Structure 1
């Protein structure tokens, strides 16, 4: 298909392509249904952690089984509360970009830019870490006790990143299908562990049952240790916010977003509890804390003949989580470009399949950069507080919009005190690590976040523009066969 490109300057001096005939009305299509949404949320939350090292909660609970299980439950409830707040925003403002779009609407452009500036550093690094971890588990069986060569891991990680990047850039339906399949596979693996634990518990010996009969008999942790245990538990539920990034592509968002959230989060919470109970049925708390890979140790005890299924399940779980994370990151880049916070090319869609191919290429390139000198990934550990900072700002945005735009159509409304509770929890989780274990790296991370304003002021606020950028944009449009979205879709980000 030949693309006829006529150059013209649009708003902010950006060069746009005059679309012809069949390209009119280009925008993202609503292709994600209820089951796809559930698989994306579950796939984002359930990664390698529950298989490999669900030890943090138990360790900071001082091996107190009852306290640990209560914290796993409470972490699931807090995640559900946050998801319900996001569900109101997603149904009232069903746009791509998740927190970014909501913060921009309620709090303005500068906080939204700081969010996307930070996310463009932390989220690709997280994807790079997942890709490297997948490569580790996928290649380890071939090397036995020997370490896997770093070059091989990096090459495989890059290959996985680009395969998923191309898949997500070519077809939303295929990406959703892959996500559904891999989510089902990881839930089957969790079901094996959970059901195996229940069977052993029913038939269990007295010493196994005693761990639960005297669940609270061990030493009770103090307030700071409980807080650390909550950090570990909430980290394991990370990813519950992923649905809002694709709200623009969800069929009937008024119904499906709340229903999806109310299905996925309780399901994950129940599975996490059952899996932890299964671990505690087979292993002692000390064995769990000292184990390098808890699920592997569990399999060696319970199903030694097919214990290999657990490392395979870990690789499958990581792959599914990576696919979901790359999908949502592409939508964040797309939304940022729509608002003029990233180059205009990133907001364009492929003329053949209406997917944000440039956004996927952009986010995949950044993740690939992190893989090459993988030491950079360690730096993102100090940005952990920024996740809850943005969650707090998003829940604050809900409160602001309730009072500033009372007539905004809200198909679903969360009980408003829930939003206030989430803001308070977020504030605590932001300040606690900085106060309890202050490190100079936290200051560097905070300076990096505010440093985004040095980019925002000239290029966004004062709209500094270079003519050669327009020519490059047009050439890349022709090369990638992409077009700007329909104007009616563009105005919603203003």
Structure 2
């Protein structure tokens, strides 16, 4: 038995949206980015836009390796081909721990928001929050055992709900800015007078934003189950991440149109606080809808991690039992182990630390993938590549890297931008 290629363009987009849009944008990341941006609104929005561009470029590079090696856990298989077994084994465990912590963080976010509805105005007790997180985790572990087609159908419903929530927040914020009171615009008018953050704060803010894009690698990890991977993966990345980046920026603008920066960083759930201010009469119902739409983010993490187990087992770096499939063509033993380890992360960990560790681990693995991509191009230029990242995209990656290097050396954005623009002009000439 083998994994089946049953995911097309539509379900591929739905899986991408469902795995990417989660508790990060609705609960955690806006608060963290503003905090580490020293409450500077232009810097905060610039970081959201810049990280969206970086993640789009990263996704296009991942699309090249996923279409060159269209197998489950293509990123792990690619690292093994590029750097050898030792580096691949190290990255395997970084990715696996990253998935365990990410699944735990998502489950805690969902549980925290659901339990908060019953503790209005009071801190949420840890025991009921962690018990509900475990219940959500094990429920979606059972769902993953039913196969990827069942997961894709549930994720489609979840994706539509998430898009509806983000569109509601974005459109309402734009309307409030256009026809609202002067108070809504005053935060943006005085924004340039705010204090500039230092380099370490910008780095922390970038990690917070990257947490909202962690799930974007799902399509690479299920490349062995996608129909026509060359077309489906590439088009899904371009279409899905463009929508996500635009909605993330508009959602943050909407938050700032209704709430002050201090209110945002003091909120445990930014979206719920926003709803309470704009739609107070139906706040409970909308909060429940937000939580319901976020629940399936856990399922995406389980799906992605189980395919890494499956591929590593087939390549001899994990016991062969993890590549065994049940009647629904699901690696159920791998799914079970993931649930157990994620349960330990939920019981023993704190949410804020989980977010940082997940984003840091994902950034390290992505850096290795980019190095491996360039290395393999140099060593094996004739390797068949159905899709190849254009020279334009590669050049932009270099320009963007120069920008972030300059930002780390100086807190003055104008100096960093001028230096990067100068490098671009010289290269073009």
TM bin (shorter chain): 0.7 to 0.9
Map of 1:296-335 to 2, 5 A cutoff? 296-335=272-311
TM-score, normalization by structure 1: 0.75
Q: Does the CA-based 8 Å contact 1:135-1:154 persist in structure 2?
A: yes
Structure 2: where are the runs of 5+ without partners? 409-429
> Higher mean Cα deviation, 123-132 or 187-196?
123-132
Equivalent in the alignment of 1:357: 332
CA contact (8 A) 1:67 1:216 kept: no
For residue 21 of structure 2, what is the aligned residue in structure 1? 46
Asked whether the 8 Å contact 1:168–1:175 carries over to 2, the reply is yes
Alignment partners' CA distance in 2, 1:242 and 1:233: 18
| Equivalent residue number for residue 266 of structure 2 | 290
- 2:342 counterpart residue number: 367
Q: Could you tell me how far 1:151 is from its partner in structure 2? A: 4.2
Mapped contact 2:222–2:304 kept (Cα < 8 A): yes
Give 1 or 2: higher helix fraction: 2
Cα distance in structure 2, aligned partners of 1:281 and 1:56: 18
- What RMSD, in angstroms, separates the aligned Cα atoms of the two structures? 2.9
SS in 2 for 1:333: helix
What does residue range 261-280 of structure 1 map to in structure 2 within 5 Å?
Answer: 261-280=237-256
Counterpart Cα distance in 1 of 2:364 and 2:392: 19
CA contact (8 A) 1:58 1:285 kept: yes
**Structure 2 partner of 1:132:** 108
SS at the partner of 2:145?
A: helix
Structure 1 unaligned blocks of 5 or more:
1-25, 434-494
Q: Count matched residues.
A: 406
**C-alpha separation between the residues in 2 aligned to 1:205 and 1:376?**
36
Distance of aligned partners of 1:119 and 1:377 in 2 relative to their CA distance in 1, 3 Å threshold: farther
Question: Rg: which structure is higher?
Answer: 1
CA distance in 1, matches of 2:80, 2:312: 10
Deviation at 1:368, TM superposition (A): 2.5
* Alpha-carbon offset, residue 281 of structure 1: 1.3
**Alpha-carbon separation, structure 1, partners of 2:364 and 2:315:** 21
Q: Helix, strand or coil for the counterpart of 1:120?
A: helix
1:272-316 superposed Cα distances (whole Å, 9 cap, x missing partner): 111111111112233323333222222222111111244324423
Mapping of residues 2-401 of structure 1, within 5 Å: 26-53=1-28, 54-145=30-121, 150-213=126-189, 215-350=191-326, 352-374=327-349, 378=353, 381-382=356-357, 384-401=359-376
Cα deviation for residue 220 of structure 1 reads: 3.5
TM-score, scaled to structure 2: 0.86
CA pair 60-373 structure 1, distance change in 2 beyond 3 A: closer
Aligned 8 A contact 1:43 1:324 in 2: yes
1:369/1:288 CA distance change after superposition, 3 Å: closer
CA shift, 1:102, in A, is 1.2
